[in-house]
Amino acid sequence: MSKTCDIAVTVNGVTHEHTVEPRLLLSDFLRHTLGLTGTHVGCEHGVCGACTVLIDGDSARSCLMFAIQADGCRIETVEGLGTIGKMNALQESFHEHHALQCGFCTPGMLITATDLLKKYPLATDDEIREGLSGNLCRCTGYEHIVAAIRAMVAKTGNTSGGKTG
Amino acid sequence: MKPAAFDYVLADSIEMVVRSLADSGGDAKIIAGGQSLVPMLNFRLLRPSILVDINRIPGLAFIEEGDRAIRIGALTRHHQLETSPVIAKHLPVLSAAMTHVAHLAIRNRGTIGGSLSHADPAAELPMMARLLDAELQVASRSGRRTIKARDFFLDALTVDLGDDDILTEIVLPKLPPNTGWGFEEVSRRSGDFALAAVAVTLAVSGGAIAEARIALTGIGATAKRAAEAESLLVGLPLDPKVLEQVIGAVRGNVEPNTDLHASADYRRHLAGVLAGRAVTAAWRRAQPVAP
């Protein structure tokens, strides 16, 4: 076993201090160490998008990062977006548009959509589809997911303009 | 699907990186964005004993405009390149290419230095380095040196970096005036690796092409320039006959592989079609704007 390290990671506003092995994936840290099983693990090599979380505000695959690298970072998972009793607007939109079937891809879809809405105008369905192309839904319920995001763009008058840098 | 155990070094300087790499005797890997490395670790295709993390080295992520070139720090994320006003103004062909690099969540983490050092045969950035005649600055324990992009990519996933080398900076010379560009890619799914992609710049002077650059990826072990096709264009205006010759030269210049995603014949066909489109777009963009 390699040398362990102490880390402090703020997840959904709560700071957690743990001792971790360097090879512990951030996805496993969230699920197994912290018990936050809302973040799903599909492929573990960055293809399916189910494990996507926000790291310091930017979406990233939690299976392609080690927990030790998140020391001092602010992470948001699907649990931080809302609760069953009080969903956020994007979750409400997914609910209204039937944008989930089995629900496995949903946490990654919600986090990805959160970042897309912040960074791109999403003026057309093509743009929304392109933005979602890194997230796989094996129920193939893409139509409803696109509709839920389109409704968010219409509702909020998304003006992010696609430029962040 | 879990990596083998490794020790972790959080580097705070380039000097610390090269020292750690040299001390490990070739058994260490640099981790930048990790978007290609971590899948290989998860699959245990790689089992380094040490990972040297460069993500927190100050001053390694920047895009700076100089008189003759744009300097880009190796740790600059793909999304920064995609959205940089400096890149959009001086190297719009690179802005266009960046939107084809994987997906937002990957572009948020992945770095230009990592992509060039990894050198996937179907990645966009090695092609853009070849197109833009990039100069790559490398640090090692024995000092610093500069490698031209044309000498850097040796084979699939193989570049001219030794065990204690780190790519620190990418220098992209500005393009000549009146340069038009084209970028064309076909992939199975938006954001996937290219089945074939072509990037072109044409500098036009007095109604004729003064300088032509055509770079390709996905069509062999490394990204490459189509030198013969480029030379066919110089000194002429673009017309359908020349374009046919260029397409033929591009097809004759590539050695694609057959894999799960596409046959070699299809990739060769694509390379020609995409080159024709990209050259045409570059020619159009190079024309003076009507007053």
Three-class DSSP labels, chain B: CCCCCCEEEECCCHHHHHHHHHHCCCCEEEECCCCCHHHHHHCCCCCCCEEEECCCCCCCCCEEECCCEEEEECCCEHHHHHHCHHHHHHCHHHHHHHCCCCCHHHHCCCEHHHHHHHCCCCCHHHHHHHHCCCEEEEEECCEEEEEEHHHHEEECCEECCCCCCEEEEEEEECCCCCEEEEEEEECCCCCCCCCEEEEEEEEEECCEEEEEEEEEECCCCCCEECHHHHHHHCCCCCCHHHHHHHHHHHHHHCCCCCCCCCCHHHHHHHHHHHHHHHHHHHHHHHCCCCC
Residue B122 and residue B145 in one domain:
yes
Query: Does residue B1 fall inside a structural domain?
Result: no
The closest CB to that of A23, out of B5, B82, B102, belongs to B5
Residue B167 and residue B76 in one domain:
yes
User: Cβ of B51 under 8 Å from any chain A Cβ?
Assistant: yes
CATH number at residue B12: 3.30.43.10
Q: What φ, ψ does residue B228 adopt, rounded to 5°?
A: -65, -45
Query: Does residue B2 fall inside a structural domain?
Result: no
**Entry pTM:** 0.96
User: Cβ of B45 under 8 Å from any chain A Cβ?
Assistant: no
pLDDT tens-digit readout, B28-53: 999 999 999 999 999 999 999 999 99
Residue B223 has pLDDT above 70, yes or no: yes
CB crowding B14-43: b at 16 or more within 10 Å, else e: beebbbbbbebeeebbbbbbbbbbbbbbbe
pLDDT tens-digit readout, A13-62: 999 999 999 999 999 999 999 999 999 999 999 999 999 999 999 999 99
The 8 Å CB, 24+ separation contacts for A123-131 are A123/A153, A125/A150, A128/A153, A129/B190, A130/B190, A130/B191, A131/B103, A131/B104
- Mean pLDDT for B89-105 is 97
Residue A163 has pLDDT above 80, yes or no: no
Beta bridge partners of A9: A16
User: Cβ of B83 under 8 Å from any chain A Cβ?
Assistant: yes
Query: Does residue B124 fall inside a structural domain?
Result: yes
- Domain final position from B16, B31, B53: B53
DSSP three-state, residue A67: helix
CATH number at residue B72: 3.30.465.10
Residue B238: domain span: 179-286
Residue B142 and residue B184 in one domain:
no
Residue B104 and residue B70 in one domain:
yes
Residue B162 and residue B225 in one domain:
no
* Number of domains forming the structure of chain B: 3
User: Cβ of A32 under 8 Å from any chain B Cβ?
Assistant: no
B176 touches B76 (CB < 8 A): no
Question: What H or E segment, with its residue span, contains residue A52?
Answer: strand A52-55
- Mean pLDDT for B129-141 is 97
Closest Cα in chain A, distance from residue B134 (Å): 22
- Within 8 A of B51 by CB-CB distance, chain A residues are 22, 66
Q: CA-nearest residue of chain A to B109?
A: A60
Q: What is the DSSP string of A103-147?
A: -SSHHHHHHHHHHHHHH----SHHHHHHHTTTS--TT--HHHHHH
Residue B165 and residue B253 in one domain:
no
Residues 6+ apart with CB under 8 A from A125: A146, A150
CB contact under 8 A, A119 and B104: yes
Residue A87 has pLDDT above 80, yes or no: yes
B159 touches B129 (CB < 8 A): no
User: Cβ of B2 under 8 Å from any chain A Cβ?
Assistant: yes
Residue B76 and residue B157 in one domain:
yes
Residue B25 and residue B90 in one domain:
no
Residue type present at position A105: C
From the list B121, B132, B155, B116, the residue with the least C-alpha distance to B214 is B132
**ipTM attached to this prediction:** 0.95
Per the listing, tokens 């790499």 go with B21
pLDDT tens-digit readout, B250-267: 999 999 999 999 999 999
The Cα–Cα gap between B180 and B284 comes to: 7
User: Cβ of B4 under 8 Å from any chain A Cβ?
Assistant: yes
Query: Does residue B81 fall inside a structural domain?
Result: yes
CATH number at residue B258: 3.30.390.50
- Mean pLDDT for B87-111 is 98
The closest CB to that of A64, out of B5, B38, B84, belongs to B38
Interface test with A, best of B1, B27, B36, B38 (most A CBs within 10 A): B38
Residue B71 and residue B167 in one domain:
yes
The Cα–Cα gap between B163 and B140 comes to: 9
- Within 8 A of B53 by CB-CB distance, chain A residues are 69
Question: Chain A 90-109, CB below 8 Å of chain B: which residues?
Answer: none
A108 band by pLDDT with thresholds 50, 70 and 90:
very high
User: Cβ of A59 under 8 Å from any chain B Cβ?
Assistant: yes
- Domain final position from B173, B207, B231: B173
Residue A149 has pLDDT above 70, yes or no: yes
User: Cβ of A31 under 8 Å from any chain B Cβ?
Assistant: no
- Domain final position from B173, B194, B211: B173
Structural domains of chain A in order of their starting residue, each with its CATH number: 5-81 (3.10.20.30), 89-156 (1.10.150.120)
From the list A153, A110, A151, A146, the residue with the least C-alpha distance to A130 is A146
CB contact under 8 A, B55 and A69: yes
DSSP three-state, residue A55: strand
Q: Exposed/middle/buried for B6, CB within 10 Å: 0-12, 13-18, 19+? A: buried
B290 band by pLDDT with thresholds 50, 70 and 90:
low
- Within 8 A of B38 by CB-CB distance, chain A residues are 45-46, 63-66
Residue B84 and residue B41 in one domain:
no
Question: What H or E segment, with its residue span, contains residue A71?
Answer: none
Residues 6+ apart with CB under 8 A from A128: A116, A122, A146, A149, A150, A153
- Within 8 A of B80 by CB-CB distance, chain A residues are 165
Query: Does residue B238 fall inside a structural domain?
Result: yes
Neighbour count for residue B99 (Cβ, 10 Å): 18
Q: What φ, ψ does residue A28 adopt, rounded to 5°?
A: -75, -35
Number of CB pairs, chain A paired with chain B, less than 8 A apart: 106
The Cα–Cα gap between B86 and B91 comes to: 8
